[in-house]
Structure 1
Amino acid sequence: MNTLTILNAVLCAVIALRLLMFRRASGCHRPWASRLAYALVLVTGSVPIRTIFGAPLPVDVTSLAINAVLCAAVLAVRGNVVDLFRCGMGYDNPITRLLRKTHDHAR
């Protein structure tokens, strides 16, 4: 196992753990954001597990850089996936609008 593989596994573990430990203060449940966070936890969490059990994915410098940027972004927003897609200046892009949708309980 080389250094890039180990670094990639560590970065992916940090991403998965930070997303798992996200706590929404008093916000409402956002189903699409939850699904995205769940998918990211599964995808990033599988990398260190595969590495530990001897079936690591091939890693190069570019994929390591992408995971490092994603890790920094997830840490910067404290695990809030909605904030990953938020633009400044009061503008919400289409992805943010979808993720911010709340589950309607009206019956």
Structure 2
Amino acid sequence: MFVARPRYAALRARYQEVVEERDEAVKLAAERLSTITRQAEEITRLRDTTPDTPLPQPRPVQGDTELRRQLRLARQAMASLDQQCRTLQSSNEAQAKELRELREGSTT
């Protein structure tokens, strides 16, 4: 089959364009693959595979009700500690008084 020279020249030009586009696509794919590979290696390098300490767990958001409950518990704990402190203080004063009386009794 014979093809006219202008048609052959047009087909040949289009073939060259397709070959150049293919070469560009192959080059672009190779660049992208090398970039992806390099980034994957960087991510692997930066990833901490053995953390030194456990990550802190995020604290739940506290609403007004939770804050009031914690405040009430804190006040109860403070009142309990205050009562214990008063008991110990009175016991200490009683023992100090008894010790003074014993010392005074032993010196007379």
- Normalised-by-shorter TM-score class: under 0.3
**Which of the pair has the greater relative contact order for Cα pairs under 8 Å at 6+ separation?**
1
Q: Which one has the largest radius of gyration?
A: 2
| Higher helix proportion | 2
